[in-house]
Structure 1
Amino acid sequence: MELARELSDFLGVVEQRIGGALVDGDAGPGVKGDTLMEAARHLVLGGGGKRARPMLVRLFGDAVGVPGEKLVECAVSAELIHSASLLHDDVVDAGMFRRGRPTVNARWGNIVAVMSGDLILSTTLLRLVQLDARVAESALAVVSEMTRAAIAEVEARGVMDLPMPQLRYIAEGKTGSLFGWCGRAAALIANNPEAAQRFDGFGRHLGVAFQIADDIRDILGTDVGKPQYADLHSRTPSMPILLALAKDEALRRKLRDAWAFSSISTERAQELGAGIIATGAVDMSLDRLNSELEAALDRLGPFSSSAGGQELVSWARKLSAGITEQVRSKVA
């Protein structure tokens, strides 16, 4: 109970600091307000973000005995780097809704969305340089990895034979690398090289599992605030889609025909979604998710017995239990 209260207090401080990082800046002579920061606040504040990355920073820090006050800036940075990636992703995907609200690109246009993401990213990295050069350097490497994974995902659009290692590369780069950085940053502050390697590995496996969970929720329609079948509509290969195509040649032909057009009707998407579920691909995806989680827990090693490590293990188990329940309730 004490740890839960401390974590809640920590996230409250992080939330305040995030708000402070997104105040209007100097927009130029004669300009009223700061459009880029207004757009950033629209995405980041009050939109139902889970703050998973700040939470991970705190739990990783607890596992190596770093006081919470030394972790706040890293937690804020993790959330803002993530937010910048979302701003850019919504432009790439032409997304209209995020967390149940219009996206920045839907409300202000692509130019504002891209530049808002750039501004958040650059100011965040500058703050990290002032905190710790090692942490900032590792964050720069992660941003580079996230960018390469994002373009790999774009290049994979419409590819029905995407190799599983490439799909995993995309998931690890887009999600796992930043999860891993949450642990690496905390370990760097603690001057613990072993923890830095172990936490990075844990976070990367956890991030891949996190992405598989998103893929499953997309097919099941259980992702709150996001339209169902977004991957089918955007022609994005996901774990359930690829596993289903490998089992059902008729479904492959149907999807190839659907992806030949610029858009897919709601009825066609529902038909394809039902076909994917019928192959057992959702259950197979769940198995792969659990394999990633077990690999993540293995990477924790001796740190799994610490207070923060125990919470990391519990968080991973809850992810598995939650998505398993959704699968069981939707796939009869």
Structure 2
Amino acid sequence: MTNASPTTTPASPTPSPLHAVVASDFEAVNRTIVRQLNSRVPLVETIGQYIIESGGKRMRPLLVLLAARALGYEGDKHIQLATLIEFMHTSTLLHDDVVDDSHLRRGKKTANDAWGNAPSVLVGDFLYSRSFQMMVDVGSMRIMAILSSATCIIAEGEVLQLTNIGNPSLSEEAYFETIQGKTAMLFEAASQCGAVLADATPEQEQALKHYGRYLGLAFQLIDDLLDYQGDSDAMGKNVGDDLAEGKPTLPLIHAMERGTPEEAKLIRQAIRQGGLDQLDEVLTIVHRTGALDYTRARAEKMVEKALAELETLPPSPYRDSMADLVRMAIARQS
């Protein structure tokens, strides 16, 4: 790496009490992101900075910081760990947008729309590779084992989602298997690795692993709900994008189960065809069958489970922020 590091600092999420308890740690993560984006190839830095500055909540690195601090960690390797988790997540975004042929993320052009598919995929590969370099620096074989396993499960989840596009016969069980891999797994790994770094007890490590899993599932459930209820400007993407891509998410699965045979047939046809020609009719059915309320209820159940797992941690402002983070995941509108 021969080039000087980028001079601009990635945009931080809007300050909140969740970040306040680890404010100095979070600033250190931002500085580390800038330093680790350094590459002798300018386009790597350009695209890397673009996607990282796109306004994400940085929930996964925040999980690392909060989990480690909640268990009394006083070192500095959690900064490196939080950064590499963010790089892993960012690389999946770059790859996902290419796979989905997306043109908008968080209200901005996607990297593939701005630079093309090939550069986006390759920069995603760079960020994955850089995350493993940083993993070595963290120096924990246990953490490396957790994260290397997580990357395989995440990739499997993405492939599962891809193979189920246009499949209206997807069961609720198979849906949860998919979102556990493609979304919840990195939340789970982030909180579990924070615990490992802090030398947690086996009980605490398992609790934080499950906490991250339930948080990730709740987050994805609300994401899928908002696709049929959200505000396009707030979400930074269009309502109905999942339907346009032929993705059979939980609102549609439930609507097909509760709707009339004619309604179920219409939704199956919409999933097979993709596109938005039948969006209005599908939205009517989704609302009439209570599919959004059902999806929210499932998310709220995940929140209850996540909060219960936090009882294994000693009381602290960090534990309080972890509880608030779960509540925020289902209260959000974007």
Q: Is the structural similarity TM-score above 0.5? A: yes
Distance 2:96 2:106 in 1: 14
1:104 maps to: 111
1:289 maps to: 299
Tell me whether 304-313 or 239-248 shows the greater mean CA deviation.
304-313
Please state how far the C-alpha of 1:262 moved relative to its aligned partner: 5.5
Distance 2:280 2:45 in 1: 38
Aligned CA RMSD, in angstroms, stands at 2.0
Distance 1:219 1:2 in 2: 29
Distance 1:227 1:140 in 2: 33
The alpha-carbon distance between structure 1 residues 258 and 162, as it changes in their structure 2 partners (threshold 3 A), is closer
Q: Is the 1:53–1:179 contact (alpha carbons within 8 Å) kept by the matching residues of 2?
A: yes
Mapped pair 1:245 → 2:256: yes
1:236 maps to: 247
State the Cα deviation string for residues 278-312 of structure 1 (Å, max 9, x = none): 21100011110111111222223321634322221
1:167 maps to: 175
Please state how far the C-alpha of 1:120 moved relative to its aligned partner: 0.3
Tell me whether 186-195 or 254-263 shows the greater mean CA deviation.
254-263
Gaps of 5+ in 2: 1-15
Match of 2:317 among 289, 307, 311: 307
State the Cα deviation string for residues 200-233 of structure 1 (Å, max 9, x = none): 1110111001000101111112352111111100
Distance 2:19 2:274 in 1: 48
The normalised TM-score by structure 1 is 0.88
The normalised TM-score by structure 2 is 0.88
SS class of match (2:22)? helix
Distance 2:236 2:137 in 1: 36
The alpha-carbon distance between structure 1 residues 205 and 11, as it changes in their structure 2 partners (threshold 3 A), is same
1:22 maps to: 37
SS class of match (1:124)? helix
Match of 2:100 among 50, 70, 93: 93
1:31 maps to: none
Distance 1:106 1:69 in 2: 37
**Letter in structure 2 aligned against 1:17:** T
Q: Is the 1:129–1:135 contact (alpha carbons within 8 Å) kept by the matching residues of 2?
A: no
Tell me whether 149-158 or 270-279 shows the greater mean CA deviation.
270-279
Please state how far the C-alpha of 1:271 moved relative to its aligned partner: 2.7
Of all paired residues, the percent bearing the same amino acid is 28
Mapped pair 1:119 → 2:126: yes
Tell me whether 305-314 or 2-11 shows the greater mean CA deviation.
2-11
Q: Is the 2:203–2:312 contact (alpha carbons within 8 Å) kept by the matching residues of 1?
A: no
Mapped pair 1:210 → 2:234: no
State the Cα deviation string for residues 181-203 of structure 1 (Å, max 9, x = none): 11111111122233221111110
Please state how far the C-alpha of 1:50 moved relative to its aligned partner: 0.7
Distance 2:319 2:67 in 1: 7
Mapped pair 1:60 → 2:38: no
2:152 maps to: 144
Distance 2:17 2:275 in 1: 51
Please state how far the C-alpha of 1:141 moved relative to its aligned partner: 0.8
Q: Is the 1:10–1:68 contact (alpha carbons within 8 Å) kept by the matching residues of 2?
A: no
Please state how far the C-alpha of 1:159 moved relative to its aligned partner: 1.7
Please state how far the C-alpha of 1:269 moved relative to its aligned partner: 1.4
The alpha-carbon distance between structure 1 residues 251 and 8, as it changes in their structure 2 partners (threshold 3 A), is farther
Please state how far the C-alpha of 1:243 moved relative to its aligned partner: 0.7
2:268 maps to: 256
Match of 2:186 among 167, 178, 181: 178
Mapped pair 1:13 → 2:28: yes
The alpha-carbon distance between structure 1 residues 262 and 306, as it changes in their structure 2 partners (threshold 3 A), is closer
Q: Is the 1:221–1:229 contact (alpha carbons within 8 Å) kept by the matching residues of 2?
A: no
Please state how far the C-alpha of 1:68 moved relative to its aligned partner: 6.6
Distance 2:247 2:18 in 1: 40
Match of 1:226 among 230, 237, 248: 237
Please state how far the C-alpha of 1:173 moved relative to its aligned partner: 1.1
**Letter in structure 2 aligned against 1:184:** Q
Please state how far the C-alpha of 1:317 moved relative to its aligned partner: 2.3
State the Cα deviation string for residues 82-120 of structure 1 (Å, max 9, x = none): 100001100110000111111111111111111111110
Distance 2:215 2:287 in 1: 24
Gaps of 5+ in 1: 28-33, 327-332
